[in-house]
Amino acid sequence: MVLVGVTPIEVQSYGTDAGLLDELRASWPPAGAGSTPVDGYRSTDVAALDVVGAVRLTDRLGVALAAEPGGSFAVVPVAREEYGGPWRRARPGDGLSAFVAGAPVASERPIGVDQTHESVVVGERAIVKWLRRAGPGPSRASILLAHLAEVGFDRIPAPLGSLAWESPSGVSLSLALGDAYLPGARDGWERLVECCEAGDASVGRRLGELVAGLHRALALPSSVIEQPIGSAGREEVGRWRAEAEATLDDAVGLTADPRLTAWAPAIRAVLGSVDARSAVIQPVHGDLHVGQVLEWSGGLAVIDFDGNPTLSEAANSVRQPRERDVAQMLTSLDLVGRVIEERGGGDRSGWIADVRAGFLDATGPADEALLAAFAVEQECRELVYAARFLPRWRYAPMAALGARFNGPG
């Protein structure tokens, strides 16, 4: 995937600038920082944290790092109007992302979609994604993108480099990642909605072929991930099951719907089917849904390898069963159909079945028990998200679970 006019962003790594750190400490937090959302369930109030690191890029551009419990750091891009002026949270148009992209006079505009992290389009040629949290170790996105680049997987926007900070423990932590901007790229959710409305299920196979190719590339050894294939023992699989059951309990309690309460024993049985066993693991995307696939003139491209922000660190490790990716995409395809039904588009159960069958046929054989367990876990996570942040979304996962455990509805 070669884009004319795009040159690699130099990998830039900085230590803490003591002078900037003193300036930030004297007036912490910077204006506009407020409560920063760092994942789908939790926000970080940076005012309550101690600023412990500072990267100075120019006299008016930089990045602040605030220590969080557990060894991670909240990432706060900062800017000021003039030398000696007060620092505030940076925003598109300040030139910070353009500086990182190596194009300091280029335009900047935000990507106006719901994202775990904050992305800025620079000069319509690159995207700089600011991570909202760094550490305590290297980001899974930086690991996976480096691995994919080495093994030659080209169905991702071309990685263009990163901005990193040397933490007090000596670990280089990514603060921002640069990717090539794909001209004319369309959001995968938007595209799938159109396909569902038109009754076109062929997109399922195209997505399956993309995911199968991604998993093959992730399973190849590289200098980044020398031994990609491994095994999760009974204890680790048991932790996955326990986390899934806790999510089910949260969903039942937060949703307070008698239908879900009635389905809970059957859902628990699906989760219990993976007990007392091991599982093959490999590097996976970790948060694979239709919104993570872009369609552009060069075909389909996968984005956002940061992992699922609703999973624990252990369940969100680089290596997981590939069935987790497959189950997340299957759930996403189902939910697209439920959205069209809710909009008055009629029964879409046939399209849901066909698009999922095409996807599964292309991705190849899978462990059915793991696939089913990860799928119902994801539906429960959708319900928890709906209860806490987006109540109107509840209908979609409820319809999907209802189709499985109680017939349509």
Are 143 and 93 found together in one domain?
A: yes
Predicted confidence band of residue 59 (pLDDT cuts 50, 70, 90)? very high
Element (H, E) at 136: none
Task: Report CA torsion sign: 57, 62, 66, 72.
Answer: negative
Are 140 and 25 found together in one domain?
A: yes
Q: Of the candidates 129, 152, 180, which is a domain's last residue?
A: 180
Please give the Cα distance from 166 to 211 (Å, whole number).
34
CA 315 remoteness from chain centre? 14
Are 196 and 49 found together in one domain?
A: no
Is the backbone of residue 121 left (phi > 0), alpha (psi -120 to 50) or beta? beta
pLDDT reported for residue 113: 57
Are 173 and 206 found together in one domain?
A: no
Question: Does residue 204 lie within any of the structural domains?
Answer: yes
Tally of domains in the chain: 2
Question: Does residue 3 lie within any of the structural domains?
Answer: no
Predicted confidence band of residue 90 (pLDDT cuts 50, 70, 90)? very high
Please give the average per-residue pLDDT across 20-34, as a whole number: 91
Question: Does residue 4 lie within any of the structural domains?
Answer: no
Residue with tokens 């969903």: 251
Predicted confidence band of residue 162 (pLDDT cuts 50, 70, 90)? confident
Q: Of the candidates 145, 180, 215, which is a domain's last residue?
A: 180
Are 367 and 232 found together in one domain?
A: yes
Domain span including residue 33:
19-180
User: What percent of the chain clears pLDDT 70, i.e. is strictly above it?
Assistant: 92
- Judging by DSSP bridges, how do beta strands 73-79 and 133-134 pair with one another? antiparallel
Distances (CA, A) of 275 to 67, 211, 237, 293: 38, 27, 7, 32
Give pLDDT tens digits for 251-268.
999 999 999 999 999 999
Of 174-183, 335-344, 348-357, where does mean pLDDT reach its minimum?
A: 174-183
Among 81, 38, 32, smallest CA distance to 58 is for 81
Question: Does residue 263 lie within any of the structural domains?
Answer: yes
Predicted confidence band of residue 112 (pLDDT cuts 50, 70, 90)? low
Residue 176, pLDDT > 80, answer yes
Question: Does residue 274 lie within any of the structural domains?
Answer: yes
Please give the Cα distance from 291 to 29 (Å, whole number).
33
Give pLDDT tens digits for 329-347.
999 999 999 999 999 999 9
pLDDT reported for residue 409: 44
Residues 94, 60, 11, 227, Cα dihedral to 10°: -80
